[in-house]
Amino acid sequence: MADQKTTVKQTQTWLKTLGFYKLAVDGDWGNGSKKALDDLLNSTLDNTKVFGVAKLAWGSKLKDAEIARVKQMVANLRWPPLALQWIMGNIAFETGRSFLPSQTNGIGATGLIQFIPPTAIVYFNTAAQIAAMTAEQKKAAGKEACARLGKMTVLEQLEYVEKYFMPYAGKVNNVGDAYLAILWPAGVGKPDDYVLWSKDKQPTSYAQNAGLDMNLDGTVTRAECTHRVTNLLVEGFIGDKVRSF
């Protein structure tokens, strides 16, 4: 896995290729890098276009109706218009760039935002049904719920993506907030230096997420969690991944 500086350098290089970053490619995500990202995203806004943007990161991966549904979801959640771009970056990251609703990972998560069984189970069972289940029955029902989600089309699964994000309506203000809503909701709205997990204070959680500790200092900050998603978001504007309208 690339360390933090290598990942940031890659993002800076892409931003420079796109004409938005003029400083040294040094691997430090400072104000100049953040401004370049903001300038890139803001440059895409265009209310005269059907989706409100002139260019969409990873737009080549979705059909018009699917993009329209993501845009409607953003409006329903009362998120800023740029959240259309943020969601595309998050889906690219969660699905390994595939944008497949059937995408799975090693822990049994499925779909566009990698639903886990304990989350998926609530979409297909009532609270009373879940309460009556044994631990083994819950495990089986969660697995079955993920399987059902994985058999859906993009449009069908986006209905459940919106259901998942509904508790964060009006609370997501950047790409990091969108990602933390998926990964660790306590990090939504926090600053970049906010420590999510510490090897000393939360050894179990840290061990489960040690791959995100890019500088190997024994803590995982919000910046470390979110920058790989930012990197994928910017990558989505490169070459034939981007779609212009």
Domain housing 215 = 4-101+152-238
pLDDT, tens digit (0-9, with 9 covering 90-100), for 158-198: 999 999 999 999 999 999 999 999 999 999 999 989 999 99
CA–CA distance, 15 with 238 (Å, rounded to integer): 9
Is 128 within a domain?
Answer: no
Q: Which of 110, 130, 49 is nearest to 84 (CA)?
A: 49
Alpha carbon distance 183, 124 (integer Å): 22
Assigned domain for 119 exists: no
- Whether the model clears a pTM of 0.85, i.e. scores above it, the answer is yes
Count of CB atoms situated within 10 Å of the CB of 38 = 13
Contact between 110 and 102 (Cβ < 8 Å)? yes
- Say if 124 falls within a structural domain: no
Q: Name, in order, each residue with C-beta under 8 angstroms of 189's C-beta and a sequence gap of 6 or more.
A: 171, 173, 177
Q: Is 243 part of a structural domain of the chain?
A: no
Nearest to 55 by CA among 68, 40, 73: 40
Q: Is the pLDDT of residue 211 over 90?
A: no
Structural domain count of the chain: 1
Asked whether the predicted pLDDT for residue 2 surpasses 80, the reply is no
In a domain, 63, yes or no: yes
51 in a domain, yes or no? yes
Q: Would residue 131 count as lying in a domain?
A: no
Inform me whether the pLDDT recorded for 69 exceeds 90: yes
- Which candidate, 192, 184, 181, 117, places its Cα nearest to that of 148? 117
